[in-house]
Chain A
Amino acid sequence: MKEYISLSHGSGGALTRKLVHEIFAAAFDNAYLRKLDDASVVTLAGGRYAMTTDSFVVDPIVFPGGDIGKLAVCGTVNDLASCGAEPKYLSASFVIEEGFALGSLRTIVSSMAREAREQKTAIVTGDTKVVPRGKADKLFINTTGIGFVHKLLDTKKIRPGDKILINGPVAQHGLSILASRQGFEGRTSIKSDCKSLWGIVKLLLQEHVDVHFMRDPTRGGVSAAANEIAQSCGFSLALLEKRIPATASCRSLCEILGLEPLDIANEGKMLFFVGESDAPKALRLLRSVPSCRQAALIGEVLSEKKSKVYLETSAGGSRVLGMPVTDAIPRIC
Chain B
Amino acid sequence: MKYVDDFRGARACLALARRINAAAGNSDFRIMEVCGTHTAAIRRFGIPSMLSGRIRLISGPGCPVCVTSDVYLRNAFRMAAEKNVTIATYPDMLRVPAGGDSLQGLKARGADIRSVNSALEVLEMAKDLKDRRIVFLAVGFETTAPATGILALRARKERLRNLLIYGAHKTIPPALLGLGRDKDLCLDGFLLPGHVSVVIGMQGYRQVMRALRLPAVITGFEPLDILSAIHTIIVAARLHKAVLENGYCRVVREAGNERAKALLREVFISKDSLWRGLGVIPKSGLFLRQPYAFLDARRAFGLKEEGTREARGGCLCAGVLTGKIEPPACRYFGKQCTPRKPLGPCMVSREGTCRAFFEVS
Contact = CB atoms under 8 A, between A and B. Distances in A.
Interface in A164-179: none
B95 interface: yes
Interface in A288-333: 311-322, 325-326, 329-333
A14 B92 contact: no
Contacts of A18: 340
A316 to B, nearest CB: 3
A28 interface: no
B1 A316 contact: no
A307 B43 CA distance: 20
Interface in A232-263: 242, 248, 251-252, 255, 258, 260
B49 to A, nearest CB: 5
Q: Name B's interface SS.
A: helix
Contacts of A325: 338-340, 355, 359
Nearest to A13: B340
A47 B270 CA distance: 75
A325 B104 CA distance: 15
B46 A315 contact: yes
B160 to A, nearest CB: 23
Contacts of B43: 319
Place the interface of chain B in its size category. 35 or more
A313 B44 contact: yes
Contacts of A6: 104-105, 107-108
Contacts of A15: 340
A332 B67 CA distance: 14
A15 B300 CA distance: 38
Contacts of A311: 46
A27 interface: no
Given A252-B1, A255-B4, A332-B65, A319 B91 contact: no
A128 interface: no
A245 to B, nearest CB: 13
Interface in B25-45: 36-37, 40, 43-45
Interface residues of A, number: 36
B1 A248 contact: yes
Contact of B91 (A251, A321, A332): A332
A332 B144 contact: yes
A276 to B, nearest CB: 24
Given A315-B13, A315-B46, A317-B50, A333 B64 contact: yes
Given A251-B1, A315-B47, A330-B91, A320 B361 contact: yes
Contacts of A102: none
B360 interface: yes
A16 B269 CA distance: 45
Contact of A319 (B36, B349, B360): B360
Contact of A315 (B10, B109, B117): B10
B63 interface: yes
Interface stretch (B135-143, B237-245, B288-296): B135-143
Given A317-B49, A319-B49, A331 B10 contact: no
Given A4-B105, A4-B108, A6-B104, A314 B10 contact: yes
B358 to A, nearest CB: 7
A100 B139 CA distance: 40
Nearest to B92: A332
A45 interface: no
Contacts of A319: 43-46, 49, 360
Nearest to B46: A317
A328 to B, nearest CB: 10
Nearest to B102: A6
Nearest to A324: B359
Nearest to B195: A333
Contacts of A14: 338-340
A315 B350 contact: no
A313 B45 contact: yes
A8 interface: yes
A333 B1 contact: no
A242 B10 contact: yes
B100 A1 contact: yes
Nearest to B143: A333
B351 interface: yes
A314 B338 CA distance: 27
A326 B144 contact: no
Interface in B44-86: 44-50, 63-65
Nearest to A2: B109
A182 interface: yes
Interface string A1-41: 10011101000011100100000000000000000000000
B360 A258 contact: no
B90 interface: yes
B14 A331 contact: no
A322 B338 CA distance: 12
Contacts of A8: 104, 340
B11 interface: yes
B36 A316 contact: no
8 contacts: A4-B109, A311-B46, A315-B223, A316-B11, A317-B46, A319-B46, A329-B115, A330-B117
Given A313-B44, A313-B45, A330-B117, 16 more contacts: A6-B104, A6-B105, A6-B107, A13-B340, A258-B40, A258-B350, A315-B10, A315-B46, A317-B45, A317-B49, A317-B223, A322-B360, A326-B339, A332-B92, A332-B140, A333-B37
Which A-B residue pairs are the 7 nearest by beta carbons? A317-B46, A316-B10, A315-B223, A332-B90, A325-B339, A322-B359, A329-B91
Interface of B: 1, 4, 8-11, 13-14, 17, 36-37, 40, 43-50, 63-65, 90-93, 95, 100-101, 104-105, 107-109, 115, 117, 139-141, 143-144, 195, 223-224, 338-340, 349-351, 355, 358-361
